[in-house]
Amino acid sequence: MDNLISKIQSINLTKTEKVIADYILDNINNIGLSTVTDISLKLGVSDTSIIRFIRLLGFAGFADFKNTMKER
């Protein structure tokens, strides 16, 4: 998990990516229970933006990210 936080903090983010990153960091304990659509509606960004950001972090997609978050 520290790797994820370090990776997010080390990337030069766009405004949209910053919104997504802040949400992930603020909700790290329950993000595994959310859907990409739930998050996109809360943040006012597209599903695609979230999926691109998750891939930027090194995950295959949102399902891979979600499973990793649930396991922790």
Q: Which of 25, 34, 26 is nearest to 6 (CA)?
A: 25
The residue segments making up the domain with residue 59 are 2-71
What is the SS3 assignment for 13? coil
pLDDT tens-digit map of 43-60: 999 999 999 999 999 999
Check residue 43 and give its pLDDT: 97
Q: Domain containing 65 — which CATH number? A: 1.10.10.10
Whether residue 9 has pLDDT greater than 90: no
Residue 36's pLDDT band (cuts 50, 70, 90): very high
Q: CA dihedral in degrees (68, 49, 20, 29; nearest 10)?
A: -20
Amino acid sitting at position 43: L
Q: Which long-range contacts (CB under 8 A, 24 or more apart) does 43-48 make?
A: 43/19, 45/16, 45/19, 45/20
Total structural domains in the chain? 1
What mean pLDDT, rounded, does the chain reach? 91
